[in-house]
Amino acid sequence: MSLENKKDFDAIVIGSGPNGLAAAITLQQQGLSVLVLEAKSKIGGGLRSAEVTLPGFVHDICSAIHPLAAGSPFFKTLPLADFGLEYINPPIAAAHPFDDGTAAALYGTTEQTAVKLGIDAKAYSKLIKPLVRYWPGLAPDVLGPLHFPKHPFNLARFGLDALPSALQTAKKFKTKEARGLWAGMAAHSIQPLSNLTTSAIGLVLMANGHLKGWPLPKGGSCKIADALAAYFVFLGGKIETDFEVKSLDQLPSSKTVLFDITPKQLLKIAGHRFSNIYKWQLEKYRYGMGVFKIDWALDAPIPFTAEECRQAGTIHLGNTLEEIAEGEKQASQGKLVEKPFILLAQQSLFDATRAPEGKHTAWAYCHVPNGSKTDMTAIIEKQVERFAPGFRDTILARNTMNTAQIEAYNANYIGGDINGGIIDIKQLFTRPALRWSPYKTSAKGLYICSSSTPPGGGVHGMCGYYAAKRALKEVFGLKASPLSYH
SS3 408: helix
Q: Which of 409, 433, 451 lies at the terminal end of a domain, its last residue?
A: 409
Percent of the chain topping pLDDT 70: 99
- For the cut 60, the answer to whether the pLDDT of residue 5 exceeds it is no
Mean pLDDT value of segment 309-322: 98
Q: Do 178 and 302 fall into the same domain? A: yes
Q: Do 59 and 191 fall into the same domain? A: no
Q: Is there a domain that residue 3 lies in?
A: no
Q: Do 298 and 254 fall into the same domain? A: no
Mean pLDDT value of segment 189-218: 97
Residue 2: its pLDDT value, please? 53
Q: Do 235 and 292 fall into the same domain? A: no
46-90 pLDDT per residue, tens: 999 999 999 999 999 999 999 999 999 999 999 999 999 999 999
Q: Do 360 and 445 fall into the same domain? A: no
Alpha-carbon distances of 203 from 28, 83, 183, 187, 388, rounded to whole Å: 34, 31, 11, 11, 28
- CATH number at 35 reads 3.50.50.60
Q: Is there a domain that residue 347 lies in?
A: yes
Q: Do 282 and 328 fall into the same domain? A: no
Q: Is there a domain that residue 485 lies in?
A: no
**Beta strands 254-259; 290-298: pairing state:** unpaired
Residue 193: its pLDDT value, please? 98
Mean pLDDT value of segment 456-475: 97
**Beta strands 254-259; 9-14: pairing state:** parallel
CB–CB of 344/124 below 8 Å? Answer: no
Report residue 410 CA to chain centroid gap.
14
Q: Taking the model in full, what pTM does it have?
A: 0.96
Q: Do 355 and 207 fall into the same domain? A: yes
Q: Do 100 and 143 fall into the same domain? A: yes
Q: Is there a domain that residue 2 lies in?
A: no
Mean pLDDT value of segment 222-227: 98
* Alpha-carbon span 43 to 73, nearest angstrom: 22
Rg of the chain, C-alpha, whole Å: 21
Q: Do 340 and 265 fall into the same domain? A: no
**Beta strands 49-50; 87-88: pairing state:** unpaired
| pLDDT-based confidence at residue 1 (cuts at 50, 70, 90) | very low
Q: Give the number of domains in the chain.
A: 2
Mean pLDDT value of segment 34-41: 97
Q: Is there a domain that residue 484 lies in?
A: no
Q: Which of 386, 409, 432 lies at the terminal end of a domain, its last residue?
A: 409
Mean pLDDT value of segment 237-253: 97
Q: Do 187 and 270 fall into the same domain? A: no
344-372 pLDDT per residue, tens: 999 999 999 999 999 999 999 999 999 99
Q: Which domain covers residue 135, as residue numbers?
A: 87-215+288-409
Q: Which of 390, 409, 428 lies at the terminal end of a domain, its last residue?
A: 409
Q: Is there a domain that residue 429 lies in?
A: yes
Q: Do 342 and 397 fall into the same domain? A: yes
- For the cut 70, the answer to whether the pLDDT of residue 3 exceeds it is no
146-191 pLDDT per residue, tens: 777 788 899 899 999 999 999 999 999 999 999 999 999 999 999 9
Q: Is there a domain that residue 24 lies in?
A: yes
Q: Do 124 and 210 fall into the same domain? A: yes
Residue 311 makes CB contacts below 8 A (sequence gap 6+) with 90, 91, 92, 95
- In terms of average pLDDT, the best of 129-143, 275-289, 428-442 is 275-289
- CATH number at 182 reads 3.90.660
- For the cut 70, the answer to whether the pLDDT of residue 320 exceeds it is yes
Mean pLDDT value of segment 200-211: 97
Q: How high is the mean pLDDT of the chain?
A: 96
Q: Is there a domain that residue 483 lies in?
A: no
Mean pLDDT value of segment 292-314: 98
- For the cut 60, the answer to whether the pLDDT of residue 206 exceeds it is yes
